[in-house]
Every structure is written in C-alpha cells, then in structure tokens.
Amino acid sequence: MSDLVAPGWRPTYTGDRSLGWVGSGRELGANLFYLYRAGRNEVPAVACVYAELAVLVHRVAATLEHLFTVPGRAPHPAHQRILELRDEAQDVFRQTALRLQEVGQALVTTAARYAAADEAAAAEFCRWLDDYAGEFSAPAPVMLPPPAVGEVPPSRHPEGGAARAV
C-alpha cells in the first residue's frame, strides 16, 4: 500500500486480466483518478479527524473519574452512566476512524488494479495525476491508531493531533 500512495506514483499497464473485463479507456482512467484521490487524500483525512476525536474523548476519562470520586461525595449512579457513554462515544470514533482507513486503502488498491488491466485507462489516469500533481506532492495523510477504551494512548503528534505524515 505505501508504494501506491508515495508522491509521484503512477500506474503501470501490465495487461493483467485477473479482474475480468472492467471497461476501458479514457472514461475509466478519469474515474480511477477520482477513486485514487478519494482513497489517498480525502478519506484518510477524514479518518484522521475521527481518530483525533477518539483521542480527545479518551483524555476526558481520567478527569471524569477524578471528579466522580472526590472525597466526601458519594458516587451517584448517573456518574457510571456518564463514564459508559464516554466509552461508547470513544469506541464509535475509534471504529469509524479504523474503517475509514480501510476504505481509503481499498479505493487506492482498486484504482491501481483496474489501471493495470487497461492501458488506455492507465494512460488517462496518469494524465489526470500529472494535471493535478499538486494534490499528490505531499505524503498521504497517515492516521496514528486511536486508543481503545481504557488503553493508554501512544505518544501523539507534537501539536496534540492524531495524524502525522510519513
């Protein structure tokens, strides 16, 4: 996967027909460009947002637990439910981030495999990549795995974010 998202990557026509007949030509090449751009740039950027949300919600856990165990105050049943809701929200953000990361990888792989099966589509795909090279000059967004509920998160981006470029 990492080679497919490196700056300057271009598909190579190999004559591979393992996918069967997938259409052909310039129109397919243009569509592959849109799949690739979504999978390389757009979906991973959204995944990073959800990963950061998971991290932010995760950081609330210790504060809430401390507030709910202040000496001299009896724990209230609502406190436990608030902690459970926090855990559920974190897990939703985490799972969404992980699934979006998988979707992005699948879109990139699909575009590359289809380009390998059609020489005209690969040429048009390359033309589009060249025309929009600025969108691919930087490394693709990379999401640090968001922590699971109850897990100590790994070291994060210096600005506190969950995304980093490799």
Tens digits of residue pLDDT in 71-130: 777 677 888 888 899 999 999 999 999 999 999 999 999 999 999 988 999 999 999 999
Going by pLDDT thresholds of 50, 70 and 90, the confidence category of residue 62 is confident
Question: Residue by residue, what is the 3-state secondary structure of the chain?
Answer: CHHHHCCCCCCCCCCCCCCCCCCCHHHHHHHHHHHHHHHHHHHHHHHHHHHHHHHHHHHHHHHHHHHCCCCCCCCCHHHHHHHHHHHHHHHHHHHHHHHHHHHHHHHHHHHHHHHHCCHHHHHHHHHHHHHCHHHHCCCCCEECCCCCCCCCCCCCCCCCCCEECC
